[in-house]
Amino acid sequence: MTRLPQLTLYQTDPTNLIKSLKMADKVKELVNNITKGDNSEKEKEFSTQPIKEGGVDPKFAAHQAHPGPAVPKDFNAQEEGTKEERRAKAEALNK
């Protein structure tokens, strides 16, 4: 004959059970208040932002937002030496 395992039920303190049920009721009440009438008034409160008419054309706004690396206006990149000297230096470095 096989024996089935016994199930034990843990009884909690009735005062703790009553407290947790009261807390659950308060939570349900708060949720109902939020989802019902109080929320509709909050949804009606909104504001619009003014649109600037004299702004930048939106097609080119991205290009103006990222102008590239900062380069001074008087930047003059000078090459060192003549063409033949640069070739000779390149050949010497590539050996």
What pLDDT, in 10s, does the model give residues 8-56?
555 566 677 777 788 888 888 888 777 776 555 556 666 787 777 777 7
Rounded to two decimals, what is the model's pTM? 0.26
CA quadruple 81, 83, 89, 90: dihedral sign:
positive
CA-based nearest residue to 43, from 54, 51, 32, 35: 35
- Domain chopping of the chain, boundaries: 14-94
